[in-house]
């Protein structure tokens, strides 16, 4: 898996920033208003970290599966802590130590989604926030995709291995003891939105 994502980043991480213009305003609005610990899960080369630090000097933790991308982030942000994750491991982060987690278009790449959400709940402080964005899938959009775009969206060489509807994502989050204060969709228009996001709060 590491080899796959190192190659993906070396080849330009195609599509990784396509939705940034929609997602970043949602993240920015939800960030803690005081100094806090922010974890960027799937930080890549640090696009979100750069924007987060432009607001205030948050304490930053970055985690990614690609050593190639992490090397770039470490060079850009020497004061931040970065960790390489080899798979669905326990995160090298203390219990109840993080105020806000950014997981921008990451969950669709994860094999063990329940483990990921368990770990998010473990490391977040009480009332801490998890931002998740992922491609949107709903009945009407999936019907359209089955007619005109199935081979593109469900390309077997794509890094996307999970596909979520609003209901399936929110159900999983609630099962892992998160409240959902905000849900939204972005890109194109309902019911064929490009992506969706949730702000999930640890109870």
Q: Which residue has the higher pLDDT, 4 or 178?
A: 178
Residue 3 has a pLDDT of: 84
Phi-psi region of 5 (alpha: psi -120 to 50; beta: other; left: phi over 0): alpha
For the question of whether the overall pTM of this predicted structure is more than 0.85, the answer is: yes
Residue 9 has a pLDDT of: 79
Given a cut of 90, whether residue 183 has pLDDT beyond it is: yes
Residue 15 has a pLDDT of: 62
The share of the chain scoring above pLDDT 90, in percent, equals 75
Alpha helices in 1-112 (DSSP H): 2-10, 20-30, 47-53, 67-76
pLDDT, mean of residues 25-32? 96
Q: How far apart are CA 168 and CA 162, in angstroms?
A: 11
Domain of 171 in residue numbering reads as: 2-202
Angle between helices 67-76 and 2-10 (to 10 degrees): 60
171 pLDDT band, cuts 50/70/90, is: very high
pLDDT, mean of residues 38-44? 96
Dump pLDDT digits (tens) for 7-24: 877 887 766 667 899 999
Buried/exposed code over 153-163 (b: 16+ C-beta within 10 A; e: otherwise)? eeeeeeeeeee
pLDDT, mean of residues 163-184? 97
pLDDT, mean of residues 38-43? 97
Q: Which helix (H) or strand (E) holds 125?
A: strand 124-135
163 pLDDT band, cuts 50/70/90, is: very high
- Domain holding 95: CATH number? 3.40.50.150
Give me Rg for the CA atoms of the chain: 16
- Would you give the DSSP letter of residue 194? S
Q: How many domains does the chain have?
A: 1
Residue 13 has a pLDDT of: 72
């Amino acid at each position: 898996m590491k080899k796959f994502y190192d190659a993906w980043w070396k080849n330009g991480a195609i599509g990784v920033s396509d939705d940034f213009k929609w997602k970043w305003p949602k993240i920015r609005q939800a960030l803690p208003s005081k100094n806090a610990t922010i974890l960027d899960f799937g930080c890549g080369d640090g696009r979100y970290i750069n924007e987060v630090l432009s607001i205030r000097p948050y304490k930053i933790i970055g985690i990614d599966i690609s050593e190639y991308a992490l090397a770039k982030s470490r060079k850009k942000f020497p004061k931040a802590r970065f960790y390489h994750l080899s798979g669905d491991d326990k995160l090298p982060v203390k219990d109840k130590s993080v105020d806000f987690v950014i997981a921008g278009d990451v969950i669709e790449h994860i094999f063990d989604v329940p483990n990921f959400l368990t770990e998010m709940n473990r490391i977040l402080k009480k009332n801490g926030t998890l931002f998740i964005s992922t491609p949107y899938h709903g009945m009407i959009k999936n019907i359209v995709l089955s007619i005109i775009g199935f081979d593109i969206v469900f390309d077997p060489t794509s890094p996307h291995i999970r596909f979520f509807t609003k209901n399936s994502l929110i159900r999983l989050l609630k099962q892992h003891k998160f409240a959902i204060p905000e849900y939204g969709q972005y890109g194109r228009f309902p019911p064929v939105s490009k992506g969706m996001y949730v702000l999930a709060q640890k109870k």
